[in-house]
Structure 1
């Protein structure tokens, strides 16, 4: 009996020691890091995140996925197979195992996600696998470019690989990610930019990418969209120091202000409260029940008509010395730029006295050599949400979606800090 007790004490001590070692483990990286690319060869400007999808012939294959901060799950060009064995997958495809329509994950995704559109037909269980008797889990997906409905097959555990970072460089280690995703046929991506073959969900959904990146990092997304095609922006995951050249010793978090993230009952996306829009010291009040959404798919800010008209009227008044130009759709206020263009900032006033400033770089879109337009779009009289912050307004702004504390951080334009979203040093260094 005494010997058994001694053995039990030794085993328990060993387990306790192992738990302490795991708890004490501190990785040599502080975040995950992804390059972001801008695309203008689709119907609207879009941004993709680059990830590693497979390890073939001693090297990683790379793929680009459109960034969607509202999508409930990842979906991409791949094939689901019930029986995967060597040689069964086409050499130019990714193959994964399907989720059965009888499994709880299928029911959960179908009933809880917010991607249901009134015009989408309910998904059907019609894919029967020969010799198995199981049906795969069909789910609706919506093309982020055209808005059209499609169907994909939910799958188990995609195998993605991600670079790790210390906030200044890419380190030599990698991080494995195994999210649920859905496979769609190649034809589903015809409207996408060239070399973009999926949608990367960065929402708060339990099936989006952040839900699969928790340990040992905090659930925090740092997003910095580039303004040019020739250089990459950067996406961080983890509450890391973030550094952008040339200020190699300045943590970008020191530039940020924060405001609460607001939950929306019908969306996994991100919403904030905007109290007023201020243009040259004149405040335009926003109705208390109006919601403001952050969107990586809408290229320009969208305002409900009552708000849009007051903003246009005020901006026209303070720029009346600038020669007007014929409006270029979808914009309603345009200017001649032949003699230069100086316009005031637009401040989005937030709770607790915070303000997100849109300088000319994020409020004026150059549409031709001689014409520039205020990058706001009339969303209509019943637009919901009342305000959408589009991707043009987000370029060269460092944004943080802190899902740990339900807060949203924003820097306003980094150009005024003599840096940009294209200034992360992607040089690989030894960890």
Structure 2
């Protein structure tokens, strides 16, 4: 947990840069977006500056979102905002990943480009206008803040105000990081020359989204220790193939086809920043929860009454606290081989609901969940994730607590270096 002193320095530094609230970076090939977790909604909120005059906007991070959309009518009129024609190349690029392209119209002379917008939290949909504007980024040296740079032709969509329902208070839209031609990382890669990579490091306080080269911020010791697995992109979401699940080293009796989503139209394991806790399709969750309960019992953990939305809850009394959180059954997501596994331990599996009770942060996603598993925010926190879109690989660290650091600590240490 970040100390008040560190957080004060962090935000004081950001505020001192003025109303532009520039994106911060540590290398000319990196762009850095600070991220804060909203306590009320458990959403991850980034800030990006755009327009003339430049103004910061809070945006909910949507890992699988195809592009950035925001409410453009929220009291800010940008002099550099330009509507995109429906017959332009940019409109075609936007509609390539537009599931609602049939309903948003084709190329008509003297008409604007309309795209299909989706709020992944509420399921609300809307039609929005594609626009082009300036965004502010800061390309900097390794240990010092450089000059604020601008990307003059950044594409995003203007959304109707009602689409903001369900977003964290003060948020004006969503920041899409999916594999799409006009997602934020794709546009920065083509305009600034970044590698096709996204680094994600979330925490219960402050974290970061970074595009480009991650070494200067996270250090070569951590980035070179990442374990890699094939990254599968379906539409614009990111998936991995979980071959099996283990609890305390014991493999669950889950059919491999259930995990991989071999049935027609079914999907495997998706990574999401808008789902707070991992969800599993009911058929998988039934096996998983039963096995976890048995493993917990074998460790003398005491089951207590469920606390919504959680099903498996336990007394905290007598459970040892370690550097990795409460000492509870370990969960392994086994990927392409037994040697490649994503290990989830107490800090990333348990939710403290009171001083006496903790609950397992894995939920039943229902029978109709399209993905076999959706890995949610709690399980992503304090894990460094590298989405190498160019080579279709996911690098992951498992818990950074094993390396005696956290995402928050990495960000704060970097800020403090700049402030000194």
TM range (shorter): 0.7 to 0.9
Contact kept in structure 1, 2:52 and 2:134, CA below 8 Å: no
Mapped partners of 1:115, 1:252: distance in 2: 38
- In the TM superposition, residue 115 of structure 1 has moved relative to its aligned partner by 4.6
Match of 1:222 among 199, 204, 211: 199
Q: Given the alignment of the two structures, is residue 293 of structure 1 paired with residue 293 of structure 2, yes or no?
A: no
Contact kept in structure 2, 1:170 and 1:426, CA below 8 Å: no
The Cα offsets for residues 376-412 of structure 1, whole Å up to 9 and x where unpaired, read as 1112234221011111100111000011211001001
Mapped partners of 1:164, 1:251: distance in 2: 23
Match of 1:145 among 110, 121, 126: 121
Q: Give 2:63's aligned residue.
A: 69
Mapped partners of 2:60, 2:27: distance in 1: 29
Contact kept in structure 2, 1:115 and 1:142, CA below 8 Å: no
C-alpha change, 1:28 and 1:227, in structure 2 (3 Å) is closer
C-alpha change, 1:358 and 1:70, in structure 2 (3 Å) is same
- In the TM superposition, residue 116 of structure 1 has moved relative to its aligned partner by 4.1
Mapped partners of 2:366, 2:163: distance in 1: 30
Mapped partners of 1:31, 1:217: distance in 2: 7
Contact kept in structure 2, 1:171 and 1:428, CA below 8 Å: no
Q: Give 1:345's aligned residue.
A: 330
Comparing 376-385 and 412-421, the one that deviates more: 376-385
Mapped partners of 2:143, 2:369: distance in 1: 42
Q: Given the alignment of the two structures, is residue 356 of structure 1 paired with residue 330 of structure 2, yes or no?
A: no
Mapped partners of 1:197, 1:113: distance in 2: 22
Match of 1:238 among 212, 237, 244: 212
Contact kept in structure 1, 2:93 and 2:182, CA below 8 Å: no
Mapped partners of 1:298, 1:225: distance in 2: 13
Mapped partners of 2:379, 2:214: distance in 1: 24
Count of aligned positions: 368
**Superposition map of 1:26-41 within 5 A:** 29-41=28-40
Tell me the SS of whatever aligns to 1:172. Answer: coil
C-alpha change, 1:195 and 1:171, in structure 2 (3 Å) is same
Match of 1:384 among 345, 370, 388: 370
- Compare the two structures and name the one with the higher helix fraction: 2
Mapped partners of 1:390, 1:114: distance in 2: 24
- In the TM superposition, residue 189 of structure 1 has moved relative to its aligned partner by 2.0
- In the TM superposition, residue 68 of structure 1 has moved relative to its aligned partner by 1.1
Mapped partners of 1:92, 1:182: distance in 2: 15
Comparing 401-410 and 185-194, the one that deviates more: 185-194
Mapped partners of 2:198, 2:171: distance in 1: 22
In structure 1, stretches of 5+ residues that fail to align are: 1-26, 80-89
C-alpha change, 1:428 and 1:134, in structure 2 (3 Å) is farther
- In the TM superposition, residue 282 of structure 1 has moved relative to its aligned partner by 0.5
- In the TM superposition, residue 65 of structure 1 has moved relative to its aligned partner by 1.4
Mapped partners of 1:162, 1:40: distance in 2: 27
Contact kept in structure 2, 1:348 and 1:355, CA below 8 Å: yes
TM-score normalised according to structure 1 size: 0.78
Q: Give 2:50's aligned residue.
A: 53
In structure 2, stretches of 5+ residues that fail to align are: 1-25, 262-267, 320-325
C-alpha change, 1:145 and 1:28, in structure 2 (3 Å) is closer
Q: Give 2:231's aligned residue.
A: 261
Q: Give 1:14's aligned residue.
A: none
Match of 1:409 among 380, 384, 395: 395
**Superposition map of 1:151-230 within 5 A:** 151-155=127-131, 157-166=132-141, 169=143, 171-177=145-151, 178-214=153-189, 215-228=192-205
Mapped partners of 1:138, 1:196: distance in 2: 22
Tell me the SS of whatever aligns to 1:199. Answer: strand
Q: Give 1:365's aligned residue.
A: 351
C-alpha change, 1:225 and 1:28, in structure 2 (3 Å) is closer
- In the TM superposition, residue 55 of structure 1 has moved relative to its aligned partner by 5.7
C-alpha change, 1:415 and 1:115, in structure 2 (3 Å) is farther
C-alpha change, 1:139 and 1:187, in structure 2 (3 Å) is same
Tell me the SS of whatever aligns to 1:71. Answer: coil
TM-score normalised according to structure 2 size: 0.80
Mapped partners of 1:390, 1:202: distance in 2: 15
**Superposition map of 1:111-122 within 5 A:** 112-113=96-97, 115-116=99-100, 122=103
Tell me the SS of whatever aligns to 1:426. Answer: helix
Q: Which has the larger radius of gyration?
A: 1
Mapped partners of 2:256, 2:27: distance in 1: 47
The Cα offsets for residues 21-67 of structure 1, whole Å up to 9 and x where unpaired, read as xxxxxx9634111111111333xx111222222464xxx53222111
Q: Given the alignment of the two structures, is residue 134 of structure 1 paired with residue 120 of structure 2, yes or no?
A: no
- In the TM superposition, residue 306 of structure 1 has moved relative to its aligned partner by 1.9
Q: Give 1:11's aligned residue.
A: none
Tell me the SS of whatever aligns to 2:193. Answer: coil
Q: Give 2:222's aligned residue.
A: 252
